Structure 1
Amino acid sequence: MTADWSPLDRELQMWQQQGLHLPLWWRDDDATEPSEALGRLDAMARQFDLPVHLAVIPKSAAPSLVDAVGASAHLLPVVHGWAHKNHAPKDQKKAEFGASRPVEDALSEAEAGLTQLREMFGDALLPLFVPPWNRVSADLLPWMAGAGFGAISTYGPRKTRLAAPGLEQVNTHVDPIDWHGSRSLLSLDGLVARITDQLADRREGRSDRLEPFGLLTHHLAHDTAIWGFCETLIDKLLSGPARPWHYDARIPHT
């Protein structure tokens, strides 16, 4: 069966007809070392000239990853928690930096992650914090800017531009993996419908049009269908109203 992208095509056409632009960014989680999949990720980023914010797990990061990132103009390392370890009680959703932990413990590990990756990547590291499983305690947020972070990224349309004073919220919005089922590509019709609805909400003022629209991937979990979806989606967005965006801690984003 041929995939039906026409609802998204029509929405993108309306954006262009109205002279609107969509800042597009890409985040990929769980990096620890070079791999064939990481090479494919880099190649796709290079193909579209769209940087990938590579969320690196500090405790597990291999020195060889530094060379792989250094050899690429499109892999931008960011901080992915500390150890990607679940601290939530069994009856709650997984979280490394959730409300069940004392703020002091969580903040200490967030700072350790930033320090570890700064030592590895130097100035190439962006001070953007990605909590594993996209969950973070609200009590931790006011402390993050003081710890050296300029932004935090979770999942879903942001409610406000700042998660806390000095801490920008830049979320992701599309995750194509069926984590609770096949672990392959989610229903394409469902994905297209959700993306179309999110873009319509932005265009019509129901959500923040200025927030960069984020694609979330996990290169180590991709199969052929997921890679193909990502390639088609990025191509459609960039051929339409989307413009590549990357986080720059020096520039306040409105």
Structure 2
Amino acid sequence: MQEIFGDRLAEVFTPPWNRLSNATIKILHELNFKAVSMTGPFPRGYKNTEGLKNLRIQLDLHTRKAKDGISDFKTLLEEITVLLGKRERIGIMIHHQRMTSFAFEFLEELLHLLKNHSKAHFLDFKELAANPNEE
């Protein structure tokens, strides 16, 4: 991956289905990963002596629970409103395989609105992993 991505490579692992074992964490440390990105905390009993950061996800754009699209969309907008009101970093997860044309349009509009908001700042994984204030 280093050969392919060069200095654009971010040593951040997103575990499938947001599940991470202690054995996987050990291997990530051996491979010099700097962080993971998932919705939950590290596994129970894990002692983070390696300094691996968890860049937590607060908003999942695509894994919704309601039975209909209108309810899902309303809930999504409510979640975004609550998160923006907290004035904290918001990790947003997308699922490229689940994205429809509407999902891409929504994401584009959301990013446009945030980009033009005076209090919004975008950080990439490398910046977040290098930040000593992250988990």
Shift in CA distance, 141/190, structure 1 to aligned 2, threshold 3 Å:
same
Residue equivalent to 2:131: 252
CA gap 1:185/1:214 in 2 versus in 1, 3 angstroms: farther
1:130 and 2:33 are equivalent in the alignment: no
**Alpha carbons of structure 1 residues 178 and 246: separation in structure 2 relative to 1, 3 Å:** closer
Q: Any gaps of 5 or more consecutive residues in structure 2?
A: none
**Aligned-residue offset at 1:128:** 0.7
SS of the aligned residue for 1:242 comes to coil
Larger Rg: 1
CA distance in 2, matches of 1:183, 1:189: 10
Aligned positions of 1:65-84 closer than 5 A:
none
Identity of aligned residues (%): 25
1:191-238 CA-partner distances (Å, limit 9, x unpaired): 0111222333x34xxxxx3xx322211233221221122122212222
Question: Distance in 2 between the 1:231 and 1:213 partners?
Answer: 16
Residues 24-64 of structure 1 deviation map (CA, whole Å, 9 limit, x = unaligned): xxxxxxxxxxxxxxxxxxxxxxxxxxxxxxxxxxxxxxxxx
CA contact 1:141–1:164 (8 Å) conserved in 2: no
Q: Deviations over 1:139-176 (max 9, x none)?
A: 643663343111110026x69xxx82321111222222
- Partner amino acid, structure 2, of 1:191: L
Q: Show the counterpart of 1:242.
A: 120
Inter-partner Cα distance in structure 2 for 1:216 and 1:128? 14
* Aligned twin of 1:118: 2
Q: TM-score, normalised by structure 2?
A: 0.71
After superposition, the Cα gap between the structure-2 partners of 1:133 and 1:150, relative to the gap in structure 1 and judged at 3 Å, is same
The gaps in structure 1 that reach 5 residues or longer are 1-116, 204-208
Q: How does 1:165-204 map to 2 (within 5 A)?
A: 165=49, 166-178=51-63, 187-200=72-85, 202-203=86-87
> Any conservation in 2 of the 1:129–1:153 contact (CA below 8 Å)?
yes
Q: Count how many residue pairs are aligned between Structure 1 and Structure 2.
A: 126
How high is the TM-score relative to the length of structure 1?
0.41
Distance 1:141 1:128 in 2: 12
CA distance in 2, matches of 1:232, 1:176: 13
**Contact residue 151 and residue 168 of structure 1 kept, 8 A:** yes
- Structure whose residues are more often strand by fraction: 1
Match of 1:147 in 2: 31
